[in-house]
Amino acid sequence: MTGKPTSVDEYIASLEGWPAEAVASLRQIVLDAVPEAAERFKWAQPVYESNGPFCYIKAFKRHVNFGFWWGLEIDDPLGLLQGSGEKMRHVRITSLADIEPEALTSLAKASAEANQRIGDPTKTAAG
């Protein structure tokens, strides 16, 4: 591929090694967990929307962040969420072994539900 990715498929194809597989796995987790979600390529990363953005996937050199706009507002019984912002939290994936499908499915569903309950995180000051 030449140039910058303009779609989620191109984004995944642009990655090398385990991060490509991790992003593809996380993508499938979100699409299975929240089938009504719209998949977009925004802010140079895959973004999933239902009443606004509820999660994103961002690959870095040595890790992948699986982020949630209303992360502070969702139940995280395993303590996977990291971050210190006013709303957002993320799960840091450093290998394929870090991908826990049940827990990540639960977080994706909870994040989409938070958008329905609280509102579009890009348009509300709540949280």
At residue 127, the pLDDT reads: 45
Express each pLDDT in 67-112 by its tens digit.
Answer: 999 999 999 999 999 999 889 999 999 999 999 999 999 999 999 9
Task: Give the residue extent of every domain in the chain.
Answer: 8-118
Domain 8-118, classified CATH 3.40.50.300, yes or no = no
pTM: 0.93
Q: What is the DSSP string of 58-100?
A: EE-SS-EEEEETTGGGS--TT---B--SSS-EEEEE-SGGG--
